[in-house]
Amino acid sequence: MFRKFVLTGLLAAALGTGAQAADVAAPPAIAAPAPWAFDFAFGGKLMSDYNFRGISQSARGPSVNVYGELRYGWLYGGAAFWTTKLPTRPVGEIDIYGGIRPVIGDLTLDLGLMYYLYTPERQFITTGAETPVALAGTWTPRNTDFLEFYGKAGYDITPQFNLGGAVYYSANWLGTGAYGLYAEVNAKYKLPNDFAISGALGHYWLGNTTVFGVNNFNIQDYLYWNAGVSWTYKDAVTLDLRYHGTNLTSQQCFATTGDYRGVFTGSGRSNWCGHSVVATLSVDLQWSKLPYK
């Protein structure tokens, strides 16, 4: 039974539960200079760990992100690249996304879809020569690319305080055939001198998979939360220090993320979902607001 539990969990490794970056790949919404005018947003991040929904995508190591996004009024479309360290050994994660961001008074909505591409991938298979014999086998699908739909809402209760929520859904999470549904509530409060505090509380529901002959195996659901403080310089450069946590045990984390170290060592454990503090330096620019064009 442990073998089956591990097999299924390792499927998620190709994503590290974090492959989506719908909530992280999309840059902060910046007001367009004029209604229905074309604009272009671009930027990137330097991170001490690519942590997505509580689980590391970079094996607890540093990661880099770059993105570009074309905007026309409420419409937008873009692409982002993230460096990763995952069991299928892709060069990185490529997110291709698009949707609409209607702004109605103090309410901002964001409705769209995102495709996660990991390339090139190599299926994670062990023979028993490099791992304990009990852990020999096929550990990931051949292709972990998948499509996710999302909806977000944020409301400015006061000029300083924003309350929001988001829902993300995939019918074929990481190519496992299992659904993935994530929902969260979040809040942000602006402090003097361009500081802010923010946090989120979410839950991931994951369905059953039948890959590798494991029939109707349910992938572990889990809770995720984060809280942090940030400082922004001239609406363009942001320093963020954030605590991330989940309720997954190290064994459940291994089964959910597919940490390859848990396979090679035979421990059946992972620290990718444990409590962590992540530092991020972000740069977000907008063509229409550049001083020199």
Share of the chain above pLDDT 70, in %: 81
CB within 8 Å of 149: residues ≥ 6 apart: 112, 113, 168, 169, 170
CB within 8 Å of 100: residues ≥ 6 apart: 74, 75, 76, 109, 110, 111, 112
Instruction: Give the whole-angstrom CA distance, residue 167 versus residue 184.
Output: 7
The number of beta carbons lying within 10 Å of the beta carbon of residue 38 is: 13
What pLDDT shows up at residue 193?
97
Q: What value does the mean pLDDT take over residues 92-113? A: 97
What pLDDT shows up at residue 14?
39
| 26 has pLDDT over 50 | no
| 83 has pLDDT over 80 | yes
Q: What is the CA radius of gyration of the chain?
A: 19
Q: Which band of pLDDT confidence, cut at 50, 70 and 90, is reported for residue 18?
A: very low
Give the chain's domain count. 1
Contact 135, 10 (CB under 8 A): no
Q: What value does the mean pLDDT take over residues 101-119? A: 96
How far, in whole angstroms, is CA 177 from its chain's centroid? 19
CB within 8 Å of 211: residues ≥ 6 apart: 8, 11, 141, 176, 177
* Secondary structure element (H or E) that encloses residue 25, with its range: helix 22-25
Give residue-wise pLDDT tens across range 130-168.
555 556 666 677 788 999 999 999 999 999 999 999 999
Bigger pLDDT: 186 vs 215? 186
Bigger pLDDT: 153 vs 267? 153
Q: Identify how many contiguous H helices and E strands the chain contains and give both numbers.
A: 4, 19
Pairing, β 222-233 against β 107-119: unpaired
What pLDDT shows up at residue 35?
67
Domain holding 127, by residue range, is 2-289
Best CA proximity match to 28, nearest among 240, 241, 293, 226: 240
| 75 has pLDDT over 70 | yes
Lowest mean per-residue pLDDT among 21-30, 54-63, 77-86: 21-30
| 7 has pLDDT over 50 | no
User: Average pLDDT over the chain, rounded to whole?
Assistant: 85
CATH number at residue 41: 2.40.160.40
Contact 24, 52 (CB under 8 A): yes
